[in-house]
Every structure is written in structure tokens, then in C-alpha cells.
Amino acid sequence: MSIILSRTIRSCRATTHADLATLKEPVISTYYCKKHSKICKPIFSIKGWWDRYTIDTLNRLKQFDGLRTETCQICLTGDSRTIDIYEKIKKKNPAFAELLFKQKIKGIFSSPPYVGLIDYHKQHAYSYELFGFERKDELEIGPLYKGQGKEARDSYVKGIADALNNCKKYLQKDYDVFLVANDKFNLYPDIARLAKMRIVNRFKRPVLNRVEKDRSNAYAEIIFHLKEN
Ligand SMILES: C[S@@+](CC[C@H](N)C(=O)[O-])C[C@H]1O[C@@H](n2cnc3c(N)ncnc32)[C@H](O)[C@@H]1O
């Protein structure tokens, strides 16, 4: 029910098709839609999306049940710069924590925030309200409200490097870190240096059909492959 309701609410926000990420102003009447090049209207009833997500979510859960393997997946929330992964996992699954402590973590695959692009708490305000999560806006790395100026970029570089340095405690020696970023300010070489890592490869990942962007704005993200320096 929570999954269905949160998907429904996300799709029913008072915004335009072209702006699902930043939600500058509530849109409650018809508007010219940049994504579809025609007049579109905001949603006036949640019923359509509720029906659609109910069926879709049940199908996905059923499909996932068939694919599920005997592996352990744990979801932790926290500030990546300070989170104590062992302690958090010990509370959820002591046997797994022991294994982890002995073997450590082989690698990270992450899509970190980018500097000055999105205020994630604002973008997902509906889910904080729906689930009663405590907001921690001030812990966001690189939020939109801090902009992309020199100070914001420096603080972003430090934030991501701090997160990597925190994670290194839990990583095996020969770890692999993969980070997805559209690094237009070329900040990742500095981040790697501060984290005492080296960029061993850069993979290009085309981003062709983000829902909130018009398709002519396709761009490439880089997946940085980092290892211990
Ligand atoms: C590009 S999004 C990646 C979303 C993720 N791949 C997903 O599917 O949910 C970046 C995420 O980093 C989170 N973030 C920002 N600052 C953080 C911090 N200090 N610690 C942990 N996560 C943070 C944002 O809230 C956002 O969810």
C-alpha cells in the first residue's frame, strides 16, 4: 500500500510534465507543455494513477518474487559522510554484520547528487509527509539552494570526498567504486585526490529519455571507475 500510494502521489503533484524535478510553482490550471508541444492539464483526480500503479506494483512484486535470489539486501538511510555501516547493520542483521566485518565490502555503485541541481527534500516532500520521515535538508550534499558558485562547488567536492573517505573504512583493499555524474565542472579529479583514489576509467552513459527533460536535450553522463591510489 505504501509503495502504491507514494508512486501515485509522486505522479499527481501539481506540476508540469516538463518539470517533475524542481517544482517551482504549483500548477493548477492548463498550461503550454514544453515536453509534448501542446496544451496539457495538471491532474484533477488521483484515480487513474492509483488504478494504474496498483496493477503495475502488484505485477512488479510478483515478477520480483520469481527473480529473487538467496542473497541478503539491506537498505540503510543516513548521511554518507558519517554513517556507521557496521553498527547500523548489526542492529538489522547481526550474522550479516559479522560476515561483513570479516570480509569487508568489495565496492560501491552510486549515483551521488550533483552540485546545485536538485533539492531532493523538496522534490520528495510528498513522501516525507506521507511516511512521516524526519527532514534533514541541511545534510544534503550539493543542493540546488546553494547554487553552483565557487563556494558551493568547493563544499560539494569536500562533501563527496568525505563520503568516500567514510566508506573506505568498510572497503576491501582492492575495492572498485563506480560513480555516475554529469561532471560539467570537472570536479571529480579533485574529489578523487581528496579521497586518495585514482580514476582508472571513464564510461560514457547516454541519457536519452529523462521524463522531465525534452528529448532534444539528451546528454551523456560519465561513470567514473575509481580505485585506491
Ligand atoms: C542522483 S540521486 C540518486 C538517487 C538514487 N540512485 C535512487 O535511485 O534513489 C542522489 C541522492 O543522494 C542523496 N544525498 C544527498 N546528500 C546526501 C548525503 N549527505 N548522504 C546520503 N545521501 C545523500 C539525495 O537525497 C539523492 O537521493
Using a 6 Å cutoff on CB, does residue 112 contact ligand 1? yes
Using a 6 Å cutoff on CB, does residue 128 contact ligand 1? no
The model's confidence at residue 173, banded by pLDDT at 50, 70 and 90, is very high
Residue nearest to atom 25 of ligand 1 (CA): 120
Residue nearest to atom 14 of ligand 1 (CA): 140
In this prediction, residues 44-72 reach a mean pLDDT of 95
Closest CA to 146 of 179, 172, 113: 113
Give the atom of ligand 1 at the shortest distance from the alpha carbon of 139.
19
Ligand 1 center to residue 156 CA distance, Å? 13
Reported pTM: 0.86
Closest CA to 223 of 188, 175, 172, 171: 188
Ligand 1 center to residue 131 CA distance, Å? 18
Name the 3-class secondary structure at 180.
strand
Q: What are the tens digits of pLDDT across the range 60-106? A: 999 999 999 999 999 999 999 999 999 999 999 999 999 999 999 99
Q: How many CB atoms lie within 10 A of CB 159?
A: 21
Using a 6 Å cutoff on CB, does residue 140 contact ligand 1? yes
Residue nearest to atom 7 of ligand 1 (CA): 111
Q: How many CB atoms lie within 10 A of CB 191?
A: 25
Residue nearest to atom 16 of ligand 1 (CA): 140
Ligand 1 center to residue 179 CA distance, Å? 12
Residue type present at position 10: R
Which alpha helices (DSSP H) does the chain contain, by range?
Answer: 2-11, 47-67, 85-92, 94-103, 120-123, 125-131, 150-168, 188-194
Give the atom of ligand 1 at the shortest distance from the alpha carbon of 141.
16
**Grid cell 492539464 in the structure block, residue:** 41
Residue type present at position 216: S
Q: How many CB atoms lie within 10 A of CB 192?
A: 22
Mean pLDDT (the chain) is 92
Closest CA to 108 of 53, 52, 37, 180: 180
Using a 6 Å cutoff on CB, does residue 81 contact ligand 1? yes
Residue 46 cell numbers, joined:
488521483
Question: What angle is formed at CA 118 by the lines to CA 50 and CA 190, rounded to 5 degrees?
Answer: 140
Using a 6 Å cutoff on CB, does residue 142 contact ligand 1? no
In this prediction, residues 160-182 reach a mean pLDDT of 96
Distance CA 93, CA 71 (A): 13
Dihedral sign, Cα of residue 107, residue 110, residue 116, residue 119: negative
Query: How much is the pLDDT for 16?
Result: 87
Q: Which of 134, 139, 167 best tests ligand 1's pocket when mutated (most atoms within 8 Å of CB)?
A: 139
Using a 6 Å cutoff on CB, does residue 19 contact ligand 1? no
Ranking 22-26, 67-71, 129-133, 147-151 by mean pLDDT, the lowest is 22-26
